[in-house]
Amino acid sequence: MKGRQIIFSPTGGTKKVADLLAGEWNLKREAVDLTDPSVDFGSISVEKEELTLIAVPSYGGRVPALAAKRFRQIKGNGARCVIVCVYGNRAYEDTLTELEDLAEECGFEVIAAVAAIAEHSIMHQYATGRPDREDEQELKEFAEKIWKKFQEEQSKGQIWEQEKRKISDFKVPGNRPYKESAPVPMVPKAEDGCNQCGICAKKCPAEAISLNHVQEADEKKCISCMRCVVVCPAGARKINAAAAAAVAQKIEKACSVRKRNELYC
C-alpha cells in the first residue's frame, strides 16, 4: 500500500517524529519536502487511497507561513491524513488547529492529530535530545492506534462514504482566529571560519541567502528556521548569542516542565 509524507523540517526534528510514526505503518512512502523551493507543489496530487502524514514544526504557536503557502497548493483528493505538529517544549498553541484547517482546505480527511516534542531548534537547552526513548515508545503506541483506525475506516469503505459522516470526530486544541504570528527576529550570520562554500545558500528553504554574498541573509526573507546553522560544515553560521539568551530567559518557565506527546483520534 502507498503512503505519503508531506514534511517541513528545516533542522530535522519534525522529520524524526514523522519517521517514528510512519515507520510503524506498512506503507511504501513517497516524500514531499516542503522546505525545497525547487518543487512544483501545485503539480502534486495525492491519490485517495494514500495514507498521508503531514508534519510541521510550531513557530510561535502557528504553522510556519512558508510551509502553509507551499502545502496549500497540494491536492488531497479525499485522502486520509494524520496531522503532526512538533514543538520545542514551550507550547504549540494554534498550530494543530491551523494545520487541520489547511489539510481540509486541500481536500484531505483528517483522521488523527499528534502534537510531539523535539529539541528546540533555536534554544537547544530546551527539550534536549528529544524525541528520546520514552517519546519513541509513546509515538509507536500512537502509530499503532492510528493504523487501527485507518484500517477500520478502510473496511467501512463505501458505506462510510454514503453516510457522509465526518471522520474527524475529535477536537484538536487551539483557537480560531489563530494567534497573531510573530516572526522571530533572529537572522543567523556567518562568522569567522566561513569559507564561502555556499551550502547554506543552496539549502535555505526561504532562498534568503545569495550565493554571491553568503555571510549575510535577506532579513525580509529569512524565517529564522536555523537550517543554515545546522548545514554549515564549518560551524560558522550563528545567531546573536545575547538575543538568543534573552529569548531563552523569557520562555524558561514555560519550557522547564517536560511536556508529553498528545494523540487525538
Ligand X SMILES: Cc1cc2nc3c(=O)[nH]c(=O)nc-3n(C[C@H](O)[C@H](O)[C@H](O)COP(=O)(O)O)c2cc1C
**Least distance from ligand X to the Cβ atom of residue 162, Å:** 40
Radius of gyration (C-alpha) of the chain in whole angstroms: 19
Q: Which residue is nearest to ligand X (CB)?
A: 13
**Least distance from ligand X to the Cβ atom of residue 82, Å:** 17
**Least distance from ligand X to the Cβ atom of residue 262, Å:** 13
Between residues 153 and 218, which has the closer beta carbon with respect to ligand X?
218
Which of the residues 1 through 30 are near ligand X (CB under 6 A)? 9-15
Element housing 98 (H / E): helix 95-105
Q: How far apart are CA 2 and CA 111, in angstroms?
A: 17
Which cell numbers hold the place of 148? 487501527
- Selected binder of ligand X within 31, 167, 184, 248 (CB under 6 A): 184
Region of residue 12 (left: phi > 0; alpha: psi -120 to 50; beta: else): left
Between residues 15 and 70, which has the closer beta carbon with respect to ligand X?
15
Residue 188 sits in the site that holds ligand X (CB under 6 A): no
Contact residues for 95 (Cβ-Cβ < 8 A; gap 6+): 56, 58, 61, 62, 63, 85, 87, 115, 174
Between residues 87 and 108, which has the closer beta carbon with respect to ligand X?
87
- Interface size with ligand X, residues (CB under 6 A): 27
Q: Considering only CA atoms, which of 126, 99, 149 is closest in space to residue 13?
A: 126
Which H, E and C letters describe 48-60, residue by residue?
A: CCCEEEEEEECEC
**Least distance from ligand X to the Cβ atom of residue 158, Å:** 38
Between residues 118 and 168, which has the closer beta carbon with respect to ligand X?
118
Where does this chain touch ligand X (CB under 6 A) — which range of 41-49, 81-89, 163-171, 203-211?
81-89
Between residues 156 and 258, which has the closer beta carbon with respect to ligand X?
258
Contact residues for 49 (Cβ-Cβ < 8 A; gap 6+): 1, 2, 79
Peptide bond into 188 cis (omega under 30): no
Which of the residues 28 through 67 are near ligand X (CB under 6 A)? 57-61
The answer to whether 91 and 57 have CB atoms below 8 angstroms apart is no
Where does this chain touch ligand X (CB under 6 A) — which range of 43-51, 158-166, 173-181, 219-227?
219-227
Element housing 29 (H / E): strand 28-33
Which of the residues 220 through 239 are near ligand X (CB under 6 A)? 224-226
The answer to whether 98 and 62 have CB atoms below 8 angstroms apart is yes
Between residues 1 and 65, which has the closer beta carbon with respect to ligand X?
65
**Least distance from ligand X to the Cβ atom of residue 57, Å:** 3
**Least distance from ligand X to the Cβ atom of residue 80, Å:** 23
Which of the residues 82 through 141 are near ligand X (CB under 6 A)? 86-91, 118-122
Residues in contact with ligand X by the rule CB under 6 A: 9-15, 57-61, 86-91, 118-122, 184, 224-226
